[in-house]
A and B are shown apart, each in its own frame.
Chain A
Amino acid sequence: MAFTQRHLLGLEGVPAAEITSILDTAASFKEISERDIKKVPALRGKTVINLFYESSTRTRTSFEIAAKRLSADTVNISASTSSASKGETLADTARNLEAMRPDAIVVRHPASGACHLLARHVSCPILNAGDGCHEHPTQALLDLLTIREHLGRLEGLTVAIVGDILHSRVARSNLHALRALGSTVRLVGPPTLVPRDLAAFGAELHTELAAGVRDADVVMMLRIQRERQGANFFPTLDEYSQYFCLTEEAVRLAKPQVIILHPGPLNRGLEIASAVADGPYSVIMDQVTNGVAVRMALLYLLVARSKGEESGETAAEMIGDAEPVRRRTGGRA
């Protein structure tokens, strides 16, 4: 199935076949990052703007590297240097950027729905790099790619997502995508952070870590935000940690081949024990590597593809790939 999205605002409602097509494209792009000269001409002459209203090291760097490896020109705008600090509205910023004719805008913003607002004001594709508590679709896609590489499939897997589900855009995007691809999703945490209404999304809800991770194929830990402590979502970080920190003991309850994911940055000893984060089942660094490939794939699919389709070029031709497309690297890293 062809990829049909005009923007990547979220993964809710994106059909399984399109998600698979993104993952397949990303898998084929991984090899570029292993070359001596890590650059293909797919987006030559294209301009990609990274518009970040929240601080980010990993995601912004990943998007920038992805664009550069496709030969796009990149411009980074952060909230502290932008006219947002002078009171310009998001809609006005969008109109101004549009007037400079970018080919894609990557957006991170603290308000849910900010990408939807931008998409109404620009003609180029918008890539959501995280909007408020809504979605973080590229994070979920790189998570899915990592899971697929290690376990060979997504259908029929049991994935436990542990932590602050209520405020997590990572959890939302993963929930939509994993459900679309046939995984069973468990959401694990205190009821203050795992509201009962989440059951409507087809997830199993657990308040006990042991039950949540038991026989799981994948455990995905979320970063706990320290500011939740003051808002009575739980009494103290210490108490939270006693109940929901992923320890080696808890990992032993999962399937023997379990893999552990974390979107980073890690709060070592708080939501994840260092022994787990650094353990043999941890695939956290693979997630980071796959992040570049997934973002390359999305930039390619959203920006270059329409032109490529007109001229009849395929992905492999555009990236000058002589090797066969590798869908899965397979096995554990």
Chain B
Amino acid sequence: MSQRVVIAGGTVVDPVAGKAAPGDVLIENDQLVGVFSPGAGGAESDTVMDASGLLVLPGLVDMHVHLREPGYEYKETIATGVAAALAGGFTSLACMANTDPVNDSAAVTQFILERARVAGGARVYPIGALSAGMKGERLAEIGEMYRAGIVAVSDDGRPVMDAGLMRRALEYTSMFGLPIIVHEEDGHLAAGGVMNEGVTALRLGLHGIPAAAEEVMMARDIALTDLTGGRLHVAHVSTAGSVALLRDAKARGLAVTAEVTPHHLFLTEEAVAGYGTNAKMAPPLRNARDVEALRAALADGTIDALATDHAPHHHDEKEVEFENAANGVVGLETALPLALRLVADGVLDLPALVARMTVGPARILGLPAGTLSPGAPADLTLVDPERRWRVEARTFRSKGRNTPFEGWEMAGRAVAVLVGGRLVYDDRPGTAAALRSAAS
């Protein structure tokens, strides 16, 4: 028997149409029926979910997370990563291949999908390794992983130094229409570096990674994309120079897309002062000039997606000397409120921001997510833009506590999340029990 639910009274943000307006969203079973003007969507038989005062968004998509399973379950599991994603408002995740074993075979891809099915909740899309064992030597069995369900190919965390291998990978993956996600960092220029090269690194006596380490690799890969007709997606862009390269590549009509992380939009190398290891990540935090360029690029669409690069680590891997600390920060549970701050700061409008967190990444990966089109999966994120809260890592659903935003005062938070029409996360005061029964 069909079950219809109308989500009524909220402000519906449609990233494709580029507008935010009062409206009702009608879903039937696991699909969206459509968006209607207030009061026009429901019928008497429908269950009503009150979204007064809330923003109703397509479920958020994070195209860059590290779920650590298999192999590093002490850092995160697919189940805890999914729980963190839902609490942060994300309904679709693409997880990177640097597990142990590396996701370089159909068997590992299938294992990840099975663990995600058991975990339930968010949709998990594996990314396959570009090279066998992520060793940067020969291609992984990309075709077999494609059949098993990968949505992209990447050696994220281990930049591909061999230009010949990258050229072949771009050619070969074009057969499947899969994008190659690149972590752009020249290993020779970055050798020994643990933070951005510049005044702060000199002050702290830490070895620097120059912006050029990212830019020379990006210039190389843009040239190879031009050569091969492949699809290139640049992960976690961090420098103003990279933005200029992207802008030029896009103007030339190349199939190049890019993402930026919240931490590169809100923090600079100054965050490393005091040797706090939660400010250590790859690529490193850069300068204010880079932050401004990244924000502008996100606003004008040069950067297509906001992605967290959620990288949980154990406390013991961070409570060490800075140069010995693991790279990376968690992001799933802080990305949305930080993103809303960009709207409050006037960097871009709400529909554009939502596009970078929904349809933008979904299109890059070919996911059936991120829109409010009739027939689309009923994945929705309801956000209370007024909810005030303070970041306390100990309350995270993620096993990772390695956030550089500890103690930040936030405004806005996901309060209810539906995946395939099911209410899988509900943090609305007082209404949780009633709605859980209504939507199930």
Is this pair of chains taken from one and the same complex? yes
**A residues bordering B, Cβ < 8 Å?**
12, 89-91, 109, 111-114, 116-117, 131-135, 166, 169, 172, 195, 197-198, 200-201
State A91–B315 Cα separation when bound (angstroms): 12
Segment of B199-207, B352-360, B379-387 engaged in the interface with chain A? B199-207
State A76–B68 Cα separation when bound (angstroms): 42
**B residues bordering A, Cβ < 8 Å?**
197-199, 202-207, 274-275, 316, 319-324
The answer to whether A89 and B319 have CB atoms under 8 Å apart is yes
Name the residue of chain B whose CB is nearest to the CB of A114.
B321
State A135–B322 Cα separation when bound (angstroms): 15
Q: Choose one: A90, A131, A133, A197; the contact of B320 (CB below 8 Å).
A: A90
The answer to whether B322 and A112 have CB atoms under 8 Å apart is yes
State A201–B320 Cα separation when bound (angstroms): 28
State A113–B206 Cα separation when bound (angstroms): 9
Looking at the assembled complex, report how far the CB atom of A96 sits from the nearest CB atom of chain B, in whole angstroms: 15
Which of B198, B203, B205, B324 has the most chain A CB within a 10 Å cutoff? B205
Q: Name the A residues within 8 Å of B320 (CB-CB).
A: 89-91, 117
The answer to whether A112 and B204 have CB atoms under 8 Å apart is yes
The answer to whether B322 and A113 have CB atoms under 8 Å apart is yes
Looking at the assembled complex, report how far the CB atom of A310 sits from the nearest CB atom of chain B, in whole angstroms: 30
The answer to whether A201 and B321 have CB atoms under 8 Å apart is no
The answer to whether A90 and B321 have CB atoms under 8 Å apart is yes
Q: Name the B residues within 8 Å of A132 (CB-CB).
A: 205-206, 323
The answer to whether B206 and A12 have CB atoms under 8 Å apart is no
Q: Choose one: A111, A116, A166, A197; the contact of B324 (CB below 8 Å).
A: A111
The answer to whether A111 and B198 have CB atoms under 8 Å apart is no
The answer to whether B206 and A133 have CB atoms under 8 Å apart is yes
Q: Name the A residues within 8 Å of B207 (CB-CB).
A: 133
The answer to whether B202 and A112 have CB atoms under 8 Å apart is no
Name the residue of chain B whose CB is nearest to the CB of A91.
B319
Looking at the assembled complex, report how far the CB atom of B206 sits from the nearest CB atom of chain A, in whole angstroms: 5
Name the residue of chain B whose CB is nearest to the CB of A172.
B205
The answer to whether A113 and B321 have CB atoms under 8 Å apart is yes
State A238–B204 Cα separation when bound (angstroms): 30
Q: Choose one: B205, B316, B319, B324; the contact of A133 (CB below 8 Å).
A: B205
The answer to whether B204 and A200 have CB atoms under 8 Å apart is no
Looking at the assembled complex, report how far the CB atom of B273 sits from the nearest CB atom of chain A, in whole angstroms: 10
The answer to whether A197 and B202 have CB atoms under 8 Å apart is yes
Q: Name the B residues within 8 Å of A135 (CB-CB).
A: 205
The answer to whether B321 and A134 have CB atoms under 8 Å apart is no
Name the residue of chain B whose CB is nearest to the CB of A167.
B205
Q: Name the B residues within 8 Å of A89 (CB-CB).
A: 316, 319-320
20 A–B pairs (Cβ distance < 8 Å), ordered by A: A12-B203, A89-B320, A90-B321, A112-B323, A113-B204, A113-B205, A113-B321, A113-B323, A114-B321, A117-B321, A131-B205, A132-B205, A132-B323, A134-B204, A134-B206, A135-B205, A166-B202, A172-B203, A195-B202, A197-B197
The answer to whether A169 and B202 have CB atoms under 8 Å apart is no
Name the residue of chain A whose CB is nearest to the CB of B316.
A89
Looking at the assembled complex, report how far the CB atom of A84 sits from the nearest CB atom of chain B, in whole angstroms: 11
Looking at the assembled complex, report how far the CB atom of A7 sits from the nearest CB atom of chain B, in whole angstroms: 13
Q: Name the B residues within 8 Å of A116 (CB-CB).
A: 274-275
State A201–B207 Cα separation when bound (angstroms): 17
Q: Name the A residues within 8 Å of B319 (CB-CB).
A: 89, 91, 117
Q: Name the B residues within 8 Å of A117 (CB-CB).
A: 275, 319-321
Q: Name the B residues within 8 Å of A12 (CB-CB).
A: 203
Looking at the assembled complex, report how far the CB atom of B314 sits from the nearest CB atom of chain A, in whole angstroms: 12
Q: Name the B residues within 8 Å of A201 (CB-CB).
A: 199, 202-203
Looking at the assembled complex, report how far the CB atom of A22 sits from the nearest CB atom of chain B, in whole angstroms: 21
State A198–B205 Cα separation when bound (angstroms): 12
State A325–B273 Cα separation when bound (angstroms): 38
Looking at the assembled complex, report how far the CB atom of B78 sits from the nearest CB atom of chain A, in whole angstroms: 29
Which of B203, B321, B322 has the most chain A CB within a 10 Å cutoff? B321
Whether A197 contacts B275 in the complex (CB less than 8 A), given A114-B321, A117-B321, comes out as no
Q: Name the B residues within 8 Å of A112 (CB-CB).
A: 204-206, 275, 321-323
State A111–B319 Cα separation when bound (angstroms): 13
Looking at the assembled complex, report how far the CB atom of A116 sits from the nearest CB atom of chain B, in whole angstroms: 5
State A198–B198 Cα separation when bound (angstroms): 9
Q: Knowing that A113-B321, A135-B205, A198-B202 are A-B contacts, what are 13 other residue pairs whose CB atoms are under 8 Å apart, sorted by A's residue number?
A: A111-B322, A111-B323, A112-B321, A112-B323, A113-B204, A113-B322, A113-B323, A133-B205, A134-B205, A134-B206, A197-B199, A200-B199, A201-B199
State A108–B324 Cα separation when bound (angstroms): 16
Q: Choose one: A113, A166, A195, A200; the contact of B275 (CB below 8 Å).
A: A113
State A131–B207 Cα separation when bound (angstroms): 13
State A166–B204 Cα separation when bound (angstroms): 11
Name the residue of chain B whose CB is nearest to the CB of A134.
B205
Q: Name the A residues within 8 Å of B275 (CB-CB).
A: 112-113, 116-117
Q: Name the B residues within 8 Å of A114 (CB-CB).
A: 321
Q: Name the B residues within 8 Å of A91 (CB-CB).
A: 319-320
State A109–B323 Cα separation when bound (angstroms): 12
Q: Name the A residues within 8 Å of B323 (CB-CB).
A: 111-113, 132
State A169–B206 Cα separation when bound (angstroms): 11
